Amino acid sequence: MHVPDGFIDAPASVAAGVVAAGAVAVSLRGARRELGGATVALVGAERTAPLAGLVAAFVFAVQMLNFPVAAGTSGHLLGGALAAVLVGPYTGVLCIAVVLLMQGILFADGGLTALGVNITVMGVITVLVAYGLFRGLLAVLPRTRRSVTAASFAAALVSVPASAAAFTLIYAVGGVTEVPIGSVFTAMVGVHTLIGIGEATITMLTVGAVLAVRPDLVYGARGLSAPLKLRVGGELVDAPADAPAPAAPRSPRKVWLAGLATSLVLAGFVSFYASADPDGLEKVAADKGFDTSVEEHAAADSPLADYGVKDISDARASGGLAGVIGVGATVVVGSGVFYVVRRRRTEDAGPSAVPSTSA
């Protein structure tokens, strides 16, 4: 659903840019708390920041995998729900913003003048809707891991048509072509509801996979862990409140390496087999006639434009190498951003943020 340059007029683009900038500023402050880990201990912060960078890289990789949803139409992950559940809503907004920035600058995907629109529609709206619904469902469902995966499915499913509706609203205000907004709304929400099924499946499977191996790394599952058990007389009973705290969290290095390897394989190899059909927005724009307003991307001459490496004639090698470069660049930039945010949190907290190790 990357909005290109030319779809939205300058006033509406500026307004969306202001909204996006405000959301990013708020998210930077909120992410300082989320990147502190499950506790105030700095060990939690050390493991959360690089995982947030990995989530951004994974979203970038999976967005290259367009899947068919209807005759002549494809869709791809938006990622807002996935990022919010894995690393928190504020950090999730920053993850999507990093992905969209890298796509726009390096790959000429999503207009630069429409960057604010894209961050608002694909990042802010998806995270707000998805995480709000996710938390609402967890409040009424049993406190189990299965509930987390089910809630993540529903949240992701709803977030995609909500994002499509938000785009339609922006187009109604600032669209440069006169089109019947009612029919655009119906078409956008309809096709993106189908895309939402794919988004929900990817989100559920990814969250479920992380829950299976390291539930402590899933932000949305914090507070759902079972109480500490002790074996007394051959039976497991709840530990008393004053029982020794469990050991410090394990390093997330294995999960990080596995996630990075998966992202590289998806972007570098699997992406070659992605659907070549236009995505939901492109299809609706062509059908409704407002695709004629598209302007050439400012980064159209980029060596990586259109997810291919310039001067490499082999399509498989060109696309695969571009995907690998994109994943690498996104994980480096994303991890750097989140490291700085976490460091600011640590400095603001001061020495008192480090818990005492004395008896």
Q: What phi, psi does 69 have (nearest 5°)?
A: -125, -20
In the chain, helix, strand, coil percent, each to 5? 65, 5, 30
Q: Is the pLDDT of residue 224 over 80?
A: no
Q: Is the pLDDT of residue 329 over 80?
A: yes
Identify whether the C-beta of residue 204 lies closer than 8 Å to the C-beta of residue 86. no
10-224+250-350: what CATH class? Answer: mainly alpha
How many Cα atoms are found within 13 Å in the side-chain-facing hemisphere of 35? 31
- 219: exposed, middle or buried (Cβ count in 10 Å: 0-12, 13-18, 19+): buried
- What pLDDT is recorded for position 160? 98
pLDDT range class, residue 198, cuts 50, 70, 90:
very high
| Gap between the Cα atoms of 218 and 152, Å rounded | 11
pLDDT band at residue 158 under the 50/70/90 scheme: very high
Query: Is the pLDDT score of 352 beyond 90?
Result: no
What is the domain partition of the chain in residue ranges?
Answer: 10-224+250-350
pLDDT reported for residue 2:
95
pLDDT digits (tens, 9 = 90+) for 230-287: 566 666 555 555 545 555 557 888 999 999 999 999 999 999 999 999 999 999 999 9
- Residue matched to tokens 């919010």: 84
Query: 359 is written with which tokens?
Result: 């008896």
For residue range 27-64, list pLDDT tens digits in order. Answer: 999 998 888 744 443 344 455 667 899 999 999 999 99
